[in-house]
Every structure is written in structure tokens, then in C-alpha cells.
Amino acid sequence: MQWETVIGLEIHVQLATKTKIFSGASTAFGATPNTQACAVDLGLPGILPVVNEEAINMAIKFGLGIDAEINKVNVFERKNYFYPDLPKGYQTTQLEKPIVGAGHVDITLADGSTKSIRIHHAHLEEDAGKSLHEDFHGMSGIDLNRAGTPLIEIVTEPDIRNAEEAVAFAKKLHSIVTTLGICDGDMSQGSMRFDVNVSVRPKGQKEFGTRTETKNLNSFKFMEAAILKEVERQIDLIEDGGTVIQETRLYNGDTGEARSMRSKEEANDYRYFPCPDLLPVIIDDSCLEKLQAEMPEMPDAKKARFIADFGLSDYDAEILSADQATANYFEAATRASDDAKLSANWIMGELSKSLNQNSISITESPVTADMLGGLIKRIKDNTISGKIAKEVFEVLWQGECSTADEVIEKKGLKQVTDTGAIEAMIDEVLASNAQQVENYRAAPDDKRGKMIGFFVGQCMKASKGKANPGMVNQILKQKLDG
């Protein structure tokens, strides 16, 4: 039997407002527990929530960024349930009239094909607090700093067909919200959390199979692994004569284990109703126009421009346009070096390798775009070879010098382009490798190309990598071939 996977995602995105969605308490991450939860966040009797206009604006920008309808009248509702991290006894969210209606997010797959994933809607809501189970012997602690942090929950149509598409979608969404500046994109701090709905059906069948939902995946890698595992579990189950039951599941990224959390029968009836403390949000045209005018260039447009203006390949443009910080760095390095292709290669090569090794983001890079641009300039004008440039980069990374020119000067790395000096060096190499020279001259033409590599290597070694490799090659050929 051939199986087809069907996936729909629900994504919680924390909005990058300074204060909470219904109160003036700070949203900053990492504060001492319970120092950033005010009476409103705790839902103490008599409080009145006031909606944060910036959260509304950010949700609208998200809608504009995915070509969605914006619902000009949208309503907050109470979703009632008990949980220790929700002292109010209800979550303020949107159900019937969410702020963002249907839209789409387009993804590019590894084979270069593109696909449009429909967004069903996105709504505004508040985050809950956190239960802390470590450090408390036989008890749990509650930290309400996160309570009331603004979220948008984005719900896709079940348009995704495999883990690769799901990851491509998640990365694209990350790119959209960070480009818009509405989310810091820090998944390790829970700024974006993915719930994956997964079902399988025999290939060719029209109806969807029964789905399960795996909640709160906070990395692309965990999401991919959770999907692959769940698809396998469902197929095995059905092929063994069992049936998939609709349930909520948990996946532990650290252990790779998955388990059931609750079945549909145990699901709550949340008794939603419009929040009597909050007026409907009415968005007028002037507000929409103002936000439209503030919209940054979105990743798809940026990618197209990088291809058209800089002649980048589709692949390079996709990577360099994916997040705002990388795109900015690339454009600044290109301005400084006047070479887009070399800038792209260095950013995706040496720079990204060093950033990964040190687990830092591009905005924290000790080698700035201007410094990299200056380095690339010296490769282009033959002051240094590409190989020496890596040495210079390393020195810049260590912070010993602040420009490539300074490193080249201080360490004497300037490339040797003086014909006389190179000739002298070559003569010495040929003299001390007489046997190899004899072998070379005795070899047929088609073997010589390979054999010359040995001499080039010796010359580069003798010059400590500083001889211009093109000149070494050329002069060597003249001398050996006679």
C-alpha cells in the first residue's frame, strides 16, 4: 500500500511588543520569576484589560505580509479552562472574528519547485504562564512572567504533504515574521512554537485520515523528527489492523520519544464567549494605509531583487534573503566590496562557519560587513590570494586588527607579484627537484597538467602562500615546457 501524508500547522508567534497585550507589564525574557506579572495578567477581581495597539499593528502587518484579508472588525473572546499557569481561568483569544483572514505563504523546495500553502486565518491571543517542575521537591513552581505576552496563532490549511514541506514552510514563516520585525524569531526561547497535525491516507483516496496533533515543537529539527516518527507510527498502526485515534501528543526532542497526552474524548468544552471587558477592535482605512506604507521589503521580493540586481543564483538568493539581518549584512558587504558573488560566497562560507562554531548570530559577528567587504577588495585587486584571505579573516575574527589592510601590513601577507622574485623562487624549486623535472619532461602532454600541481605546491610552500598562484602557474609552464 502506498501512503500519503497530510499535514496542517498551528503556530504560536510571540509578538515583539515591549509590554503585554492587555497590560503595561514588561515582556522581556529571562527576568526573575513573577516580577513581570501585574494585576491584569493575574486576572485579579476588578481589573480592566486595555488592548495594546502595537500588538494589533503587528498582527495587521503579518496579514499584509501574507496577502491576507484583514478583518476590520475583530473580537476578543474568553476561552475558559483551568490550569495552574492561567490564574484568570480563561485565555483571552479570538475565535469567530479573528484579525487576519485567509492568506498564503509560498515555499521553495530542494528541487527548486515552489508551492503555495494556504493560511486559514491568524488570531491574536495572550500567552499563558509557565509551570516549572525542576528545582521544587515534589512540587511545581509557577512563573507568570509570560502570562499576557501577545501572540498571533497562525493556522494553515492541510496543504502540506511531507516533513520537507513543513520545514520549508516553518523557515519561510520565520523569515516573514523576522523581516516584519514583529517577532525576535528566537525559537530556543519559545518565540515561535509549532503544533503539527498529521494524518495519513492511501494514495489516491480523497478523504483525509484521522489526525493527531503534536504540540509545542520549538525547533525545525524537532518538528521534522516528530512528523517522521508520527507518520511511521500511523502507517504501522493501520497496517497492523489498528485505527488512528484523534489525540493530542507530546514529542520530546531530547530523547526522541513521543507519547499520547489526551484523546479527543477528554477534550474540553471551552465555552467561548465575547470578552465583556474588551470592545471589538475596529480598524479603519487610514490605519491600514499607514501600516501598508511602513511595510518592509518581504523575503520573496528581496530574493527576486537579489537575483535581478546582483546576478545571484536562486539558491544563494534564497539563503541570503531569508532573514533581515543576513540580507542587510550581504548588501552592506556588497557595497563595501563591489562584488556580490564574492560577498555571497564569503558569507555562506567562512562567515557562517565561524558563526555556527561560536553559536552567535550575524549581528554579533566580530567581522562586520565593512570589514569583510574590505577583505574581499584585496582579493579582487590581487593583494592577497583566496587562501591568505582566510588567514586574514581569522585574524579579523579574533579582533587583533580592525581592517584587512591592517592585517596584511602587520603580518606581511601581501601577495608576491614581482616576476623576478617569483622566477627566482621557481628556479630554486626546479633545481632541488631535478628528478621530478625529468619525469615531467618525459611525460606525454595529457599527463603534464596533473604533474605540474606538484611544482605549484612546492612554490606556494616556499613563498608561505604569498606568491600569486596564477603567475606561478604561468611561469612554471614556460620554464618546464621550454
Binding site for ligand ADP (CB under 6 A): 6-10, 155-158, 197-199, 208, 211
- Report how far residue 417's alpha carbon sits from residue 394's, in angstroms, rounded to the nearest whole number: 23
Residue closer to ligand ADP (CB basis): 215 or 305:
215
The number of CA neighbours under 13 Å toward the Cβ of 336 is 20
Alpha-carbon dihedral angle through residues 174, 177, 179, 180, given to the nearest 10 degrees? 180
Question: Where does residue 38 fall: left (phi above 0), alpha (psi -120 to 50 degrees), or beta otherwise?
Answer: beta
- Under 8 Å between Cβ of 19 and 36: no
Q: Residue 249 phi/psi, 5° resolution?
A: -125, 160
Which triple of cell numbers denotes residue 155? 493556522
The number of CA neighbours under 13 Å toward the Cβ of 277 is 14
Residue closer to ligand ADP (CB basis): 218 or 248:
248
> In the complex, what is the shortest distance from the CB of residue 196 to ligand ADP, in angstroms, rounded to a whole number?
8
CA of 285: how far to CAs of 35, 70, 180, 292, 298, in Å? Answer: 39, 11, 20, 10, 22
Residue closer to ligand ADP (CB basis): 7 or 151:
7
Residue closer to ligand ADP (CB basis): 156 or 343:
156
Q: Residue 252 phi/psi, 5° resolution?
A: -100, 110
- Number of residue whose CB is nearest ligand ADP: 8
> In the complex, what is the shortest distance from the CB of residue 466 to ligand ADP, in angstroms, rounded to a whole number?
59
Residue closer to ligand ADP (CB basis): 233 or 390:
233
Q: Beta strands of 127-232 (E only): which ranges?
A: 130-132, 141-143, 150-156, 192-202, 212-217
> In the complex, what is the shortest distance from the CB of residue 210 to ligand ADP, in angstroms, rounded to a whole number?
7
> In the complex, what is the shortest distance from the CB of residue 101 to ligand ADP, in angstroms, rounded to a whole number?
14
Residue closer to ligand ADP (CB basis): 163 or 344:
163
> In the complex, what is the shortest distance from the CB of residue 10 to ligand ADP, in angstroms, rounded to a whole number?
5
- Strand (E) or helix (H) holding 223: helix 220-239
Residue closer to ligand ADP (CB basis): 7 or 413:
7
> In the complex, what is the shortest distance from the CB of residue 178 to ligand ADP, in angstroms, rounded to a whole number?
22
> In the complex, what is the shortest distance from the CB of residue 39 to ligand ADP, in angstroms, rounded to a whole number?
32
- Report how far residue 332's alpha carbon sits from residue 310's, in angstroms, rounded to the nearest whole number: 13
Residue closer to ligand ADP (CB basis): 201 or 448:
201
> In the complex, what is the shortest distance from the CB of residue 154 to ligand ADP, in angstroms, rounded to a whole number?
9
Residue closer to ligand ADP (CB basis): 197 or 458:
197
Residue closer to ligand ADP (CB basis): 117 or 312:
117
Which triple of cell numbers denotes residue 11? 503556530
- Report how far residue 285's alpha carbon sits from residue 305's, in angstroms, rounded to the nearest whole number: 30
Residues 6+ away with beta carbon under 8 Å from 278: 22, 49, 51, 76, 92
Q: If you compute the radius of gyration of the chain from its CA atoms, what whole number of angstroms results?
A: 30
Residue closer to ligand ADP (CB basis): 29 or 270:
270
- Report how far residue 196's alpha carbon sits from residue 199's, in angstroms, rounded to the nearest whole number: 10
Furthest-apart CA atoms within the chain: distance in Å: 98
- Strand (E) or helix (H) holding 5: strand 3-14
Residue closer to ligand ADP (CB basis): 4 or 186:
4
> In the complex, what is the shortest distance from the CB of residue 266 to ligand ADP, in angstroms, rounded to a whole number?
14
Which triple of cell numbers denotes residue 260? 499520547
> In the complex, what is the shortest distance from the CB of residue 215 to ligand ADP, in angstroms, rounded to a whole number?
12
> In the complex, what is the shortest distance from the CB of residue 245 to ligand ADP, in angstroms, rounded to a whole number?
13
Q: Which of 221, 203, 210 is nearest to 249 (CA)?
A: 210
Helical axes 445-462 vs 469-481, angle rounded to 10°: 130
Residue with cell 584585496: 378
> In the complex, what is the shortest distance from the CB of residue 230 to ligand ADP, in angstroms, rounded to a whole number?
10
Residue 52 burial (CB count, 10 A) = 22
